[in-house]
């Protein structure tokens, strides 16, 4: 195999595939890029077993020549070394020539390098066939879904299933739910009524996919028994589904909401952010005191002092109520809504409460209060 390639385009492809290459792996072969050149273009694959990314560079794009002087073939080259080598070059093009399947010669201007390589047959057989239930989502809808749910998934491995976002396609609705047992985020999108599946997809993997989206208008998703496949134009991302049964969250969202606070999102974000400077020793606990006459955010520390701020651009309905919560959870929930105004609705002092946008019922956030005694 050999080719001369536009350095900038090659580096772009390497950067995409490198997102899936683990720095340490049980299988050392996965520390390499799999590089294939055939009649359609150059394919770069990176994988860590749980996540696989395969991206393609065409010979030409919009009359721009990307690859020339080529001979088809395939090889495995150390991902980190190849990526760093190409990154540090300052030429417009570089050439790569594989000799006897054991060495890759890289040349660019006055620079020359010899990198050991491995036969491509040594790479694990990775299934990237799009078999299973197919779903196509508008790119903006997919990014919004990830932004409004993935942050609420657990980052701890004690309960691995909670590090995933649960997807349920049923009766013309795609429901995405994430929870770490202290909070919950749910987003609903309309889909074709014939699509039915349940899948648990790693929240980290979903974020990776959303970061890879560029000019694509749609994200094509295929869900099979063991994997989720995302097609993003010239890039395909495959991830193993999280095993285990997701907890039943259907009845977590409270219904009888007796206390309602409507407030400007930026005002409450800034107020919580300011008073939370004193909440460090109390695990980020901030208190919200509400009555029809006054709404106040406050926090205190036995070592540092106390802070409070009254909210002006708000409206509260209900009897006097005080609720303490993790400030990071509430800030993340409000920011995820992306709305000018937000509603915080409560059942009682120690009951889970809702954070929502009254103008968008497709998304809802639920947070469990914290005890302060």
Q: What angle do CA 102, 104, 106 make, to 5 degrees?
A: 165
> Are residue 264 and residue 353 in the same domain, yes or no?
yes
Overall domain count for the chain = 3
> Are residue 263 and residue 157 in the same domain, yes or no?
no
Average pLDDT over residues 305-319: 93
Average pLDDT over residues 322-348: 96
Identify the CATH number of the domain in which residue 230 sits: 3.10.150.10
pLDDT at 44 over 90: yes
> Are residue 324 and residue 347 in the same domain, yes or no?
yes
> Are residue 213 and residue 318 in the same domain, yes or no?
no
pLDDT at 373 over 60: no
d(CA 312, CA 292): 12
Q: Over the stretch 132-173, which tens digit does the pLDDT of each residue have?
A: 999 999 999 999 999 999 999 999 888 999 999 999 999 999
Q: Point out the domain boundary residue: 240, 271, 294.
A: 240
pLDDT at 282 over 80: no
Q: Point out the domain boundary residue: 185, 205, 240.
A: 240
> Are residue 303 and residue 355 in the same domain, yes or no?
yes
**Phi, psi (degrees; rounded to nearest 5) at 330:** -70, -40
Its pTM stands at 0.91
d(CA 144, CA 146): 5
Cβ contact 221:213 at 8 Å:
no
Q: Give the model's pLDDT for residue 301.
A: 77
Q: Point out the domain boundary residue: 176, 207, 240.
A: 240
What's the token pair of residue 371?
Answer: 């005890």
Q: Give the model's pLDDT for residue 281.
A: 55
> Are residue 227 and residue 267 in the same domain, yes or no?
no
> Are residue 227 and residue 291 in the same domain, yes or no?
no
Is residue 372 a part of any domain in this protein? no
Q: Which domain holds residue 235?
A: 133-240
pLDDT at 283 over 80: no
Is residue 254 a part of any domain in this protein? no
pLDDT exceeding 70 applies to what percent of the chain? Answer: 98
Name the pLDDT band for 305 (thresholds 50, 70, 90).
confident
Backbone angle region of 372, left / alpha / beta, with phi > 0 → left and psi within -120 to 50 → alpha: alpha
Average pLDDT over residues 277-300: 85
What's the token pair of residue 207?
Answer: 């974020």
Is residue 89 a part of any domain in this protein? yes
Q: Give the model's pLDDT for residue 215.
A: 79
> Are residue 316 and residue 216 in the same domain, yes or no?
no
By C-alpha distance, which of 290, 266, 265 is closest to 369? 290
Q: Which runs of consecutive H residues, i.e. helices, occur in the chain?
A: 7-18, 79-88, 139-149, 203-212, 265-275, 327-337
Name the pLDDT band for 279 (thresholds 50, 70, 90).
low
d(CA 367, CA 148): 14
Q: Give the model's pLDDT for residue 185.
A: 98
Is residue 250 a part of any domain in this protein? no
Chain mean pLDDT for the chain = 93
Q: Give the model's pLDDT for residue 264.
A: 96
Is residue 252 a part of any domain in this protein? no
Cβ contact 317:324 at 8 Å:
no
pLDDT at 280 over 80: no
> Are residue 137 and residue 234 in the same domain, yes or no?
yes
> Are residue 117 and residue 156 in the same domain, yes or no?
no
Is residue 373 a part of any domain in this protein? no
> Are residue 265 and residue 207 in the same domain, yes or no?
no
> Are residue 320 and residue 265 in the same domain, yes or no?
yes
What DSSP designation does 162 have? G
Q: Give the model's pLDDT for residue 352.
A: 95
Q: How many residues make up the chain in this entry?
A: 373
**Other Cβ atoms closer than 10 A to 149:** 26
Q: Which of the two residues, 56 and 127, has the higher pLDDT score?
A: 56
Q: Over the stretch 260-274, which tens digit does the pLDDT of each residue have?
A: 999 999 999 999 999
What's the token pair of residue 232?
Answer: 């993003």
3-state secondary structure of 308: strand
């Amino acid at each position: 195999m050999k080719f001369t390639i536009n350095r900038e385009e090659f580096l772009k492809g390497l950067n995409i595939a490198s997102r899936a290459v683990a720095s340490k792996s049980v299988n050392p072969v996965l520390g390499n890029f799999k590089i294939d050149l055939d009649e359609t273009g150059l394919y770069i694959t990176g994988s860590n077993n749980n996540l696989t990314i395969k991206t393609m560079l065409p010979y030409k794009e919009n009359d721009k020549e990307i690859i020339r002087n080529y001979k088809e073939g395939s090889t495995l080259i150390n991902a980190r070394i190849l990526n760093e080598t190409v990154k540090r070059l300052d030429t417009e093009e570089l050439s790569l020539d594989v000799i006897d399947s054991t060495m890759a010669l890289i040349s660019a201007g006055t620079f020359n390098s010899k990198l050991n390589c491995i036969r491509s047959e040594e790479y694990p057989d990775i299934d990237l066939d799009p078999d299973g239930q197919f779903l196509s989502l508008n790119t903006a809808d997919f990014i919004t879904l990830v932004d409004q749910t993935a942050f609420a998934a657990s980052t701890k491995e004690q309960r691995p299933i909670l590090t995933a976002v649960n997807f349920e396609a049923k009766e013309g609705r795609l429901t995405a739910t994430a929870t770490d047992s202290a909070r919950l985020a749910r987003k609903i999108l309309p889909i074709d009524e014939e699509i039915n599946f349940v899948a648990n997809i790693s929240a980290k993997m979903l974020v990776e996919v959303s970061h890879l989206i560029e000019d694509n208008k749609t994200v094509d998703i295929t869900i099979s028994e063991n994997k989720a496949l995302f097609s993003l134009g010239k890039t395909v991302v495959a991830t193993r589904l999280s095993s285990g049964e997701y907890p039943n969250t259907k009845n977590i969202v409270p219904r009888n909401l007796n206390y309602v606070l409507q407030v400007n999102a930026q005002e409450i974000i800034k107020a919580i952010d300011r008073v939370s400077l004193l909440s460090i020793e109390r695990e980020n606990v901030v208190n919200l005191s509400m009555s029809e006459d006054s709404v106040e955010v406050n926090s205190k520390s036995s070592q540092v002092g106390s802070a409070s701020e009254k909210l002006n651009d708000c409206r509260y309905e209900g009897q006097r109520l005080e609720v303490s919560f993790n400030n990071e959870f509430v800030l993340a929930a409000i920011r995820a809504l992306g709305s000018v105004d937000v509603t915080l609705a409560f059942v009682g002092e120690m009951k889970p409460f809702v954070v929502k946008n009254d103008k968008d019922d497709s998304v809802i956030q639920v947070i469990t209060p914290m005890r302060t005694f």
